[in-house]
Structure 1
Amino acid sequence: MTNRTVAELAGLRRRFASMLYESMLLLGVLALTFLVPYLILGPVTGFTPPGWMLWIHVFLVLGVYFVWYWRRGGQTLAMQTWRLKIVAADGQGASLGRCWLRYALAWPSVLLLGFGLLWALIDRERQFLHDRLAGTCIVLLSQQSKT
């Protein structure tokens, strides 16, 4: 983040705590989006989707969840709790394209044994690799901030 006066970069412990809380919320989001189409309609219609279709479903549902929240105010529900916000590297709100890029890059960042998350241990500003590549960062909001 180039403009240090905009906001303080969020610490690793706070970001990991937010990720843990977010994962619990995402279980509910995925449960709701799988319940009707696959667990209720599936047996009635006899349709069992192939595994690749389920992965595309997960990718798209989570993508819509994250990008919608990041574009709406820079924060998911968990990020609001931990006073974190996604911004572009210049401190402005992240664009739609930048949000989708961050989301897409987060998948390999996490799935490759967390390499992109561990990257923060050697990054000069402690940013995750997907944030660095997408031109975003996670900032800590002040106690007085409502957004």
Structure 2
Amino acid sequence: MPLSIQPTQPPQSPQLPIAPLWRRLTALIYDTLLVVALFILTAFINLGIQLVYYGEPHLKQLTEDGHTLDNGGLYLALVAVTYAFFTYCWCRKGQTPGMKAWRVRLVTTQMQPVTLKSATIRWLAAIPSLLLCFAGTLWMVVDPQAKSWQDRASKTMIVVLPNLGACRN
């Protein structure tokens, strides 16, 4: 009689509901405000570096001549700051501050914490979605499993956490 080997499934934790679109977008609004603050800080650091490198008189002359002080290094730093913010938050606790405020968490499809690899894939998959007016995120409205492009590409999902009640004293 041939042996049949059945794959073992990891123990399933209680299924949490997939986060609806409105929760994802409101969390994203919160996080966008934080990312903008990080952008401002990054731009100030860039300005400080330019002041040290070029000197104040030269920078003053450049701005008076109508030149801007942005450069490729600044744009690369802004991309790096955005990547670091999201991947650090997702890998550390599964939540950005905006996600925490709206009680949602990013987990793998097996309800496990997100790895750096899956967080990076998710972040990269969000770029075309963003460039196409959030088409990848809005895709979850027509997707039978309510998954966005980012969810599918990274094998992750955003779930709603249970409400543990009001703050207790």
Q: TM class by shorter-chain length?
A: 0.7 to 0.9
Q: 1:17: Cα distance to partner?
A: 0.8
Any runs of at least 4 consecutive aligned residues in structure 1 with deviations exceeding 6 A, and if so which? Answer: none
**Runs of 5+ consecutive residues of structure 1 not aligned to the other structure:** none
Matching of residues 1-147 of structure 1 within 5 Å: 5-36=14-45, 38-46=46-54, 50=71, 52-144=72-164
Deviations 1:63-95 (A, max 9, x none): 111111111110011111001100011111111
Q: Which of structures 1 and 2 has the bigger CA Rg? A: 2
Higher relative contact order (CA 8 A, sep 6+): 1
Question: For the residues of structure 2 that align with 1:76 and 1:113, how far apart are their CA atoms?
Answer: 21
Q: Is the 8 A contact 2:21 2:138 kept in 1?
A: no
Matched to 1:125, the amino acid is Q
* Identical-residue share of aligned pairs (%): 28
Aligned residues: 141
Instruction: Give TM-score, length-normalised by structure 2.
Output: 0.76
Instruction: Give TM-score, length-normalised by structure 1.
Output: 0.86
Question: For the residues of structure 2 that align with 1:121 and 1:53, how far apart are their CA atoms?
Answer: 38
Question: For the residues of structure 1 that align with 2:104 and 2:13, how far apart are their CA atoms?
Answer: 16
Measured on the aligned residues, the alpha-carbon RMSD in Å equals: 2.0
